Amino acid sequence: MTAKDKSFNALKEMEREARRDIIIASAERVFSSKPFSQVSIRDIAREAGISHALIYRYFPDQQALFVEAFLRGAEKIVAFLHKLIDENPEGNIEKVTEKFLRHMIDNDRYFRMMTHFMLDGTLNPEQLDRLNTMERRMLGELERLFANRASDARLQAHAFFSAMNGILISFRNYPGRNRKDVTQHMLRLGRVVAERFKGEQPQFPAK
């Protein structure tokens, strides 16, 4: 293969990756705007400004595209949590809670996708396993927050994550409040949650 051929192939690969990124970004916007079961490949193609047939060159179906879009956002959250907890080696739960909530409020597409999927989404075993793997990574980061202060760090991490999700999902569209007021209310709730998680937590029998 000549140098010219290699350059041409490299350019084609760059174009392919750029197109794939456009499709995934479009899928994120569509999946976060309406229920999982109501999203079609044609909806995503329309958002991306391409033909629906082109999407099938990259993704076999709606499920695979949803998971790819979901994982891209979740990967950023894992990286954020890793850095945040590294910066709080003493397990400052109040600080972690506030920064985590602020980050998610400013980048809430992941939670909107998750909410729509939890309400009416189904996946095949392969795709579900990919989501479960990512969730374990996320919870693994939170376990580090409780490693030196709880008798059951894994259980506390699960409870903490559930509490954060509850705040974000329940009050994102708080009636009659502007964005600033909603943010402040969520942060106040976060401080209540953080207070409950301070200190040694009781251990519960595994189910």
Does some domain include residue 205? Answer: no
Q: Which pair of tokens denotes residue 94?
A: 């109040």
**Enclosing domain of residue 184:** 3-197
Domain CATH code at residue 85: 1.10.357.10
- Number of domains within the chain: 1
pLDDT in tens, the chain (207 residues): 676 666 767 777 888 899 999 999 999 999 988 888 889 999 999 999 999 999 999 999 999 999 999 999 899 999 999 999 998 877 789 999 999 999 999 888 887 887 777 766 678 889 889 988 999 999 999 999 998 876 799 999 999 999 999 999 889 888 888 989 999 999 999 999 999 988 654 454 554
Q: pTM value? A: 0.81
Does some domain include residue 60? Answer: yes
Does some domain include residue 103? Answer: yes
